[in-house]
Every structure is written in C-alpha cells, then in structure tokens.
Amino acid sequence: MRKTLVLFALSLVCAICAHAETIVLRTGARVKGEIVLQNADVVIVRDASGARFQYPRAEVQEILATDAAEVKEQEAEQDNIGTSKKASILLELAGGPAVIPSQAVGGGFSVDMLVGSHHIGDRHLFIGGGLGYHGLFIGEEKYNFLPIQVALRLPFMEQKHAPVFGVALGYGVGLSRDYLGGLYAGLDFGYRCQLNEKTAIALVLAAQFQQATIRVIEEVSGIPYANTVGRNFVTPSIKFALYF
C-alpha cells in the first residue's frame, strides 16, 4: 500500500512539473508538446496524444514555453492588425500614346496619387483611392482630366519579386469648359519588387480609358451651331509605381 502511494505521489509530482512547450520551426510551423529529448542534433517532442515527433536541430528556430508562445502569437496578430491599418501612398507616373479609336492618335501622360492600405492580413495587397492628373494631346487639341478613382493592386505571389495586377475605376472630371468628363477605368499588369515591409516599386504596362463629351461648333448652311459629341480616349502606356 505504501509503495502504491509513493508511486502515485511521484506520478503526481511529474505531472505537475511537466510543462508543455512550443517548438518553432524555421518554416514558421509550431508544434506544441513536451520535449522528450534535445541535443545538438535532434529535438524530440511528445504531443498531447502521446505521439512523438523528431526534428533535426537545424530546422528548429526556437523553443518557447507555451505561455511565451501564446504571448508572441497575440503580439504577431496585433502587429498584423496594426499594419493593416497603416496608411500607405501609391504614386504612379505613366506615359504613352493617346488614341481616339478610328479617328486620331496623339500622346498622353498621367500622374496618380492614391492613399490606402498596402498590407492587409498577410498579403501585400493595396486597396485605396485618390486623384490623378491626365493630359492628352491629339492633333492641335489638348484634353486634361482629373480622375477621382478607387484602385486595387494585387501581387500574384507573396515574394520579393512578383507579377502584379491592378484595376482602377472612377470618374474623370474635365478641366475645361469645352468638354465634360465621364467614366474612367484603368488596367495594369507588370512586375513588382518589394523593398521592405511597406516600400515597393513596380514597372507595368497599363491601359487607361476615359469618356468625355466634347462641345463642338458645326456649320449647317453656313450657320454655326453648338453641338456635343461623345469621345472615348484610350491611353496604352508604360507606368512606374512607388509604394511607400
């Protein structure tokens, strides 16, 4: 009877003294359990079900007490939430030909500044909105617009170098009495380099579409009449973008 009590007491002490730990691997994976053996070559851990797992020491980044691991996880979640709320600025400069389909060809340039979030959750996804200035030169005519837009820039992979896709939609305000603005849309596809957590640069091929209503003077039997005609401007361009 006494021997049974001693064994029970020893088991109770061992159960109280044993504590779970968290193995953090270099891949980012976490394994919770009790460390059975660790040395310079290997770490063996036993999980709550009693199963044992063996990891080469070189693959283990750190070993944390469970409480410390939970604190780190909570801090990481708070950092992600804080990062997602941080504002980021996207500055884009573009230039290329300007086209009125089946009518005329000229040139154009654009400058856009957007404000939004550059890091949402675990993705470097930019969602924001802002203003731009677009100048189009076709023949002797000049057209200037102020696009008010919302935009999305999405990298295909979470890597330092990755293809990026973008869309924009809004309304381009005409900056002259001779024409009114209309629907504005943009489409981007290119290559982005992530310099650090918040800063990135990109070089993309872009296509911008702008509707407008143009006031023109027409003559009928020698008598001038004011009239309006619709115009669609298409601007394929090369664009440089800076996220900061």
Average pLDDT value over all residues in the chain: 83
pLDDT tens digits, 161-208: 999 999 999 999 999 988 999 999 999 999 999 998 778 999 999 999
Helix (H, G, I), strand (E, B) or coil at 20: coil
CATH number, domain 2-80, options 3.30.360.10, 1.10.1040.10, 3.90.79.10, 2.30.30.100 = 2.30.30.100
Give CA–CA dist 164/202, Å, rounded: 8
The confidence band for 36, taking pLDDT boundaries of 50, 70 and 90, is confident
Quote the distance between the C-alpha of residue 26 and its chain's center: 25
Give yes or no for a contact between 6 and 19, defined as CB atoms under 8 angstroms apart: no
State what percent of residues in the chain have pLDDT above 70.
81
Structure confidence by residue, pLDDT tens digits, 115-164: 998 777 777 889 999 999 999 999 888 999 999 999 999 999 888 899 99
pLDDT-derived band at 234, boundaries 50, 70, 90: very high
Q: Which helix (H) or strand (E) holds 119?
A: none
Q: Among the ranges 83-87, 114-118, 168-172, 217-221, which has the highest mean pLDDT value? A: 168-172
Please state, for a pLDDT cut of 90, what percent of the chain lies above it: 45
**Mean pLDDT computed over 105-117:** 94
Domain 87-243: which topology?
Answer: Porin (2.40.160)
Determine the pLDDT at residue 120.
74
CA distances to 24, 59, 75, 148 from 68, rounded to whole Å, are 12, 20, 10, 48
- In the chain the beta strands, taken as DSSP E runs, fall at 21-25, 30-38, 42-46, 52-56, 60-65, 87-100, 104-117, 126-138, 141-155, 161-174, 179-180, 182-194, 200-220, 223-243
| Domain limits, the chain | 2-80, 87-243
Fold agreement between 2-80 and 87-243: no
